[in-house]
Amino acid sequence: MLAWLESTAFSVWIRESPSMLAFPGILSLHTIGMGIVAGINGVIALRILGAAPDVPLGEMRRFLPMMWLGFWVNAASGAALLIGYPTKALTNPVFYVKLGCIAAALVLVVAIRRRVLTAGGLASAKRLAVASLVCWTGAITAGRLLAYTYRHLLSR
């Protein structure tokens, strides 16, 4: 299965094309998306925790469409990187830690939007914000460590 995926033309192109649009370009997109997603979620968390208190809390919602754009850019670029090196990621437990952090963070995004930004204020808002910061920091850390913790680069 992994060997087949690695032999597909798209996978080979991502890995071996000398074009800067292949692996380097996808990696760049993934990093820009990371800045947008973690950055905007981080800013919303900072606001909930008391930074920039004069910003109307509900208005932070206006930045969510841009955050989701970044998220989908990263889902797509992440899928492409995974197709390029499926074995490298899927045989590394750290990759699942990264996915777990992102999944938890997404649940938190939805909870924060519904219960804090829309309903306004909430006793547990600060706990959600701290959890969001922890999840995104964890996702970034796990993502970065993928380059140092993999055991198999390719299936063969």
Partner 1 sequence: MAVFQIWLVRTLASAHPVAAAMRTRWGWPTAETIHFIGLSLLVGCVGTFDLRLLGVGKRIPIAALHKLIPWGVFGWVLNLLSGLTFLMTEPDQYIYNPSFHFKLLFMGIAGANALTFYATLYRRVTAVDASPPPRWAKVIAATSLSMWIGVIVCGRLLTFYRPAPCGDDGPGFLAECIPSTKRVR
Q: How far is the CB of 94 from partner 1 (least distance, A)?
A: 11
**Residue in 20, 123, 151, 156 binding partner 1, rule: CB under 8 A:** 20
Q: Are 88 and 11 in contact (CB under 8 A)?
A: no
How many angstroms separate the CA atoms of 21 and 28, rounded? 9
Site string for partner 1, 79-118 (x = CB under 8 A): ----------------------------------------
Residue pointed to by tokens 């140092």? 148
How many angstroms separate the CA atoms of 74 and 37, rounded? 9
Provide the 10 A C-beta neighbour count for residue 36: 19
Q: How far is the CB of 127 from partner 1 (least distance, A)?
A: 20
Q: What's the DSSP call for residue 118?
A: I
Q: How far is the CB of 66 from partner 1 (least distance, A)?
A: 6
Q: Judged by CB under 8 A, which stretch of 8-16, 58-66, 78-86, 98-106 contacts partner 1? A: 58-66
Q: How far is the CB of 4 from partner 1 (least distance, A)?
A: 28
Size of the site for partner 1 (CB under 8 A): 37
Nearest Cα to Cα of residue 62 among 105, 106, 113: 113
How many angstroms separate the CA atoms of 17 and 85, rounded? 14
DSSP 106-117: HHHHHHIIIIII
- Contact status: 34 vs partner 1 (CB under 8 A): yes
What residues make contact with partner 1 under the rule CB under 8 A? 20, 24, 27-28, 31-32, 34-36, 38-43, 46-47, 51-56, 59-60, 62-63, 66, 136-137, 140-141, 143-145, 147-148
